[in-house]
Each structure stands twice: as structure tokens, then as C-alpha cells.
Chains A and B, each alone.
Chain A
Amino acid sequence: GQNIDQPTEMTATEGAIVQINCTYQTSGFNGLFWYQQHAGEAPTFLSYNVLDGLEEKGRFSSFLSRSKGYSYLLLKELQMKDSASYLCAVRDSNYQLIWGAGTKLIIKP
């Protein structure tokens, strides 16, 4: 079967750095997405990785290793507004998105 694993919940301190991991087992791979979802709001697109390596976008970076079936989202200089759920999704060989259950990130002052 297809599976996306990410931690259920993480806690970090304002101003710090946090890394949210995502591991996947899917039938084929055609890219990995990270989305941010604040409570009661729409998931919003953060990043897309299809090749190995690090993609940096401001305070957020996303890393991919296809050989390890592994990605992480790195958030720097954490702000209170970064408290949200972070969803990892992989596009499989049929171009279907397979979703993880999301990681709830709690930022403390």
C-alpha cells in the first residue's frame, strides 16, 4: 500500500528553527508537496520538490531525497503565525496525490 508518515505534533519556540520530517512509500514518484493549513482555513501551497536537494524560499526550505523516500520542511526564525498544520503529499505514478495526516506545529513564546 501507499503510505506517508509525518509526526502528529511538534512544539518549538518563537525565533528558533524546526524541521518537520516526511517519509513516503508510494507506487512511483512524481513530486512532493508541502502545504500549510491554519485551523479552520484552506491548505496553502508552500513548496514542490521533484529533484533531490534543498529548495529555499525565504524562511522556509524543503529537502528531498528520492533514494531514501524522505523529505523535510525547515522553518527558520519561527513566528507565532507559523503555528499551523503542515501537510506532506506525494504525487504517485498515476499522478494522484497521496497525503500524510499532517503535523500540527505549536509555537511557544
Chain B
Amino acid sequence: ETGVTQTPRHLVMGMTNKKSLKCEQHLGHNAMYWYKQSAKKPLELMFVYNFKEQTENNSVPSRFSPECPNSSHLFLHLHTLQPEDSALYLCASSPSGGEADTQYFGPGTRLTVL
């Protein structure tokens, strides 16, 4: 399999549930990202990992918890979410997080919080 894959593609959860989103990249990249995409709004960067180390955390609520066990895998653990957290969650990877980096995206997980 090539590129960036994300599972599940769709997720419906209640506010008291705990779930995890998974991202895997097959590009040999060293940087991985989580974004939130809401309708008609710009992409919001949530977390950045570079060589498995978290380098950015853009004031994301603690109900979102990232995990990066290695440079190919990235998880987003979800618990006690709110309905306003419903959105498309995109994972991306890039070679190094450096100056001329281009990010490559997965297809996203469409999350609905009831």
C-alpha cells in the first residue's frame, strides 16, 4: 500500500466514548501531522511530530491525545468529545518538517460526535 492511509474513514461516537484514529504513512517520511477540517474553515493544525518527537501542540484540548510510536504511525486518541468536535480529521506526512517540505495527506476520518 502506498501513500498515507487513515482508519476508520467514518466514525460516530457518543460524548462518553473513547476511540482512536489511526494514520500510517508508507512514504519513508519523518514528520507527521494531525489537522482538523471543519466546513468552510481553514485547516487547523493540531499536532506535529518530527522524528517521533512532538514539536507542536496548537492549544488543543486535552480530550485529544496524540501518540506517535514510530515515524510511520500516528494515533489520535479521543475521549469525552463534544458535538463541536465533529469534523474531518486529516493526517499528513512530510519528509522532514523542514523548509522546502511538502505535506502529503491521507483521506481523513469523518468524525461525528452525538
Residues of A within 8 A of B (CB): 4, 8, 30-31, 33, 35, 40-45, 48, 50, 87, 89, 91, 95-102
Contact = CB atoms under 8 A, between A and B. Distances in A.
Given A4-B42, A43-B90, A95 B99 contact: yes
Contacts, number: 49
A42 B100 contact: no
Interface stretch (B13-21, B71-79, B103-111): B103-111
Given A42-B108, A44-B105, A48-B102, A100 B42 contact: yes
The prevalent SS among residues of B at the interface is loop
Contacts of B41: 101
Contacts of A50: 100
A33 B43 CA distance: 13
